[in-house]
Chain A
Amino acid sequence: MVAVLPPVIPPAIIQTLPTPAPSSNLLSTDLTQNRIEVSSSFQGAKVVVYGAVVESRDQPSDIVVVVSGPRASMRLIRKVQVAGLWLNSRPVVFEGAPGFYMAASSQPLDKITGFSNRRRLGLGVDYIAMDTPRDTKIVTRYGVRDVVVNSLEDDYLEWRQAVTRLKQKSSLYSDNPFGVRFVDRNLFRAEIDLPSDAPIGTYKAEVWLFRDGEPVSYSAKLLRVEKVGFERFIYDTAHRRPWLYGIVSALICIGLGLGASRIFRRG
């Protein structure tokens, strides 16, 4: 089992793996929306991934839908007790972790396919591709030179699980084992619930068709979550003209304070 420990696998391979090349495309999918507008009344959104299996006939098929949000690095610290005080460890940086992740399937993923496919395709919260490149080192192991291992060694899995657990708690990561429903013989749908704090950016909705534990067809659609209107104006100004934004903001606050004192003095 040593060989399958995630730290031993170089992250670059995970990132650049080609999606499975199906012999013929048996999947046809789309989203109910491919653009979500985040305005001041945004309280989360629901998007439906739907699709059809072409030429399903009588073959048993499993569908896996994975929606993942924009990738960003995350820093995780661990509280450790030193002389009775709970202090922070050095932060560990996880790179490439998606800001949102949902895996829905027509039945539990471990019944659909095996470990290696799940790991390769990133199916399921525990198989999301992310790594801690700043903490890797190259060593010689079992007589093999230049093996990339994680300097966290055996703790790596624990750290990684902590990331997914925290994200699951805030409903940003989820596994939905029966989230894909066949509404008709060959027609399926899966609902995506985006919480209000889902990150802004481009999402990818990927759909796999599995037969006998192997991916036979693949389809992907993009979903853009973007701020619009006043929200967008504020965000853009804050990032593109920070001096102007800061000075105007501070002056508005002072002005409102002055105005309030006028009103109260007269009242």
Chain B
Amino acid sequence: MQAFAILAALEPEPVNVDIYLPIAEMSVNVLTMIGLGVLVGFVSGLFGVGGGFLMAPVLVSLGIPPSVAVASQAGHVLATSTSSVMSYSQSDSVDYRMGAVMAAGGVVGAVIGVEIFRILRLLGQIDLVVSLAYLLVLGSIGGMMLKESLTAMLLRRKGEAPPRPKVKRPVWIYGLPFKMRFPRSGLYISFIPPAAIGLLVGILSAMMGVGGGFLIVPAMIYILRMKASVVVGTSLFQIVITTFVTMILQAVRNHSVDMILALILLAGGVIGGQAGIRMANRFRADELRAIMAVIILMAGLQMGLSLFVPPQNPFVLVPTGQP
């Protein structure tokens, strides 16, 4: 959290443009929020992730109740991802069929995840589970991606061709029934693995309060071995559908969607998102992946290490759940 607090403190001295948020029931500085939207939108467009894993901690460190932060940033994720999907679909780099299959699993997973979230929150143990999930999931994915992309970059420096991936798809994937063609991804596999990945990611993402792009992208690359060019666009399409459902569920079950906050964030987000997409073309894929791996690792360590650092104040007020 400290790094995020520093990030927030580094913002230029905010001009006094405050607005009162009706659901969060507090006032925030509009420019700070737009700036945050641009920043997270940029990361989102560049790497094809929702950016929730970056935005939620910053919002919370600015004093917004966690439940409102998680639910409202869904609006930002939704707008940024929609705008990005449109851009990617122009260059035919969205596999709608694959995205729909994964989203079907994702929606079911999200419903299950929200229930687990509620139970854990009632037990007061959600912090522990969220921190551990960040540490384990982000730590391992970030480490794996960093190692792989650094190896590729080193080989390119030496002028050697990158090795063909030794292990193709896990063999058992071919043995599954209900095969479908995914022409855009260059795959002919059962729909069970993508749907199962979507389900798992849906559960984890609902519990961690994020869109799940940083989980989907590596899963598409390393497990499904989809054609690299469609990975980011398809992941964003999947995120649009899952987030659409999540946002409505949050509004209905928790009344925690602050539309004003969402609108401010997404105003910056769409601009940052477009800038990110343009910037993405200037980098090589392995370089992008290395940068994203470092960001993921840092976010994971940040949350995970909070388990080991003695808290400044041992007592914490937690939301009662019912306003």
Q: Write the residues of chain A forming the contact surface with B, with a CB cutoff of 8 angstroms.
A: 38-44, 72-81, 84-91, 93, 159, 162-163, 165-166, 196-197, 199-200, 227, 230-232, 234-235, 238-239, 242-243, 245-247, 249-250, 252-254, 256-258, 260-262, 264-265
Contacts and interface: CB of A to CB of B under 8 A. Distances in A.
B248 to A, nearest CB: 4
A197 B248 contact: no
B247 A77 contact: no
Contacts of A252: 75, 259, 263
Contact of B315 (A44, A166, A247, A254): A166
11 contacts: A166-B317, A196-B26, A227-B22, A235-B22, A246-B250, A249-B247, A249-B262, A254-B82, A257-B78, A262-B86, A264-B274
A245 B259 CA distance: 9
A254 B23 CA distance: 21
A264 B255 contact: no
A39 B251 CA distance: 22
Contact of A258 (B82, B123, B274, B308): B82
Contact of A196 (B27, B84, B244, B248): B27
Interface of B: 18-20, 22-23, 25-27, 63, 74-76, 78-84, 86-87, 90, 123-125, 127-128, 240, 244, 247-252, 255, 257, 259-260, 262-263, 266, 270-271, 273-274, 306-311, 313-320
Given A72-B320, A246-B250, A257 B82 contact: yes
Contacts of A74: 317, 320
A40 B25 CA distance: 10
Cβ-closest 7 pairs across A and B: A246-B251, A257-B82, A162-B315, A261-B86, A260-B270, A257-B79, A197-B26
B128 to A, nearest CB: 5
B307 A261 contact: no
Most buried by B among A88, A159, A247, A253: A253
B83 A232 contact: no
Main secondary structure of the interface of B (DSSP, over half): helix
Contacts of A89: 124
B119 to A, nearest CB: 13
A132 to B, nearest CB: 13
A40 B252 CA distance: 24
A85 B82 contact: no
Nearest to A195: B26
Contacts of B81: 257
B316 A250 contact: no
Nearest to A261: B86
A91 B318 contact: yes
A265 B90 contact: yes
Given A79-B316, A257-B83, A234 B308 contact: no
Contacts of B263: 252, 256
Contact of A77 (B262, B266, B274, B316): B316
Given A39-B20, A74-B317, A250 B247 contact: yes
Contacts of B270: 256-257, 260-261
B83 A253 contact: no
Given A79-B316, A246-B250, A253-B266, A42 B124 contact: no
Given A239-B255, A257-B80, A257-B82, A40 B315 contact: no
Contacts of B63: 197
A235 B23 contact: yes
B318 A77 contact: yes
Contacts of A80: 314
B309 A234 contact: no
A76 B319 CA distance: 9
B114 to A, nearest CB: 13
B316 A76 contact: yes
Nearest to B244: A250
A197 B313 CA distance: 21
Given A231-B20, A250-B78, A197 B25 contact: yes
A91 B307 contact: no
Contacts of A85: 128, 307-308
B18 A41 contact: yes
A69 B271 CA distance: 41
Contacts of A235: 22-23
Nearest to B124: A91
A246 B257 contact: yes
A41 B19 contact: yes
A231 B82 contact: no
Nearest to B316: A77
Nearest to A267: B274
Given A43-B20, A250-B247, A257-B79, 18 more contacts: A44-B27, A72-B320, A75-B319, A78-B315, A86-B309, A86-B310, A196-B26, A197-B26, A231-B20, A238-B259, A245-B251, A246-B252, A254-B240, A256-B270, A257-B270, A260-B270, A261-B274, A264-B87
B86 A199 contact: no
A249 B320 contact: no
Contacts of A261: 82-84, 86-87, 270, 274
